[in-house]
Amino acid sequence: MLQKSRELLFAVIAMILITLAYLVAQTLYGGTPRASSLFGHGLGVVGFLLMLMTETLYSLRKRTRLARWGQMSHWLEFHIFTGLVGPFMVLLHPGWQFKGLAGVLSLLTVLIVLSGIVGRYIYTAVPRTADGIEIDLAALEFQVARIEAELQAGQPTDATQPAARRGFAGLPAAFGLATRNSEQRKARHLRDLRRERDRLVRIIRNRRSARRLLSLWHAVHIPLGLTLFLVAFVHIAATLYYAVL
């Protein structure tokens, strides 16, 4: 469980360290660091860069054929880490002054983080390989069909019951024992096949439900992210304009 959620642990540790640094800066500045201060600017710049990495790097690794370095599962962990730490720094950047464009940006940041948390758990509901690649639905359905065919071919009938079970007399005891052992192995094999078939059917059903939820989540999360970055770029442009001119 810890291995699967280590990006959350690292993100919490990073946010604790950032909070401690913020408290030290608060002591040095004699109050809450303003957004225009060196520390406030640093939080905003680094946080925005982390959010930009969140928005681009994982998508680039997933969709571009040329970018095939590293496992998808590791990129997802990095995506979640930057997606938590970056917004946390951006929220600290305005010095608790959530007015005007900064307030809109802060609200969008909170919404995108909450949406990302929901998306993480929807994402993990979709069956994937160890590398984080989604298991193909057709491959799952093919496995189920193969197991069904094997079950139908291996189902015992009254006409094919072993002689030992029909109560034939005069057969050697060793023959009857071997026959019973063979039949028991066959019964265990069929039972295992049925369990595997049921497991795959559940995976297929869960995958379809998770894919529908994931499609709905994308329809909300992606426009929200684009809006966030549009507002962020407007905020940066306005800050540079008033600072320079």
Residue-wise pLDDT tens digits, 104-163: 888 888 888 888 888 877 776 666 655 555 566 667 677 778 877 777 776 543 333 444
Give the end-to-end CA distance of the chain in Å, rounded to a whole number.
53
Cα separation of 55 and 50, whole Å?
9
Q: What is the signed CA dihedral for 53, 56, 61, 66, rounded to 10 degrees?
A: -120
Report pLDDT for 31.
Answer: 86
Q: Which of 54, 71, 109 is nearest to 232 (CA)?
A: 109
Backbone angles phi, psi at 202, to 5 degrees: -65, -40
**pTM to 2 decimals?**
0.62
Please give the radius of gyration of the chain, using alpha carbons only, rounded to the nearest integer. 29
How many C-beta atoms lie closer than 10 Å to residue 185's C-beta? 10
165 confidence band (pLDDT: 50, 70, 90): very low
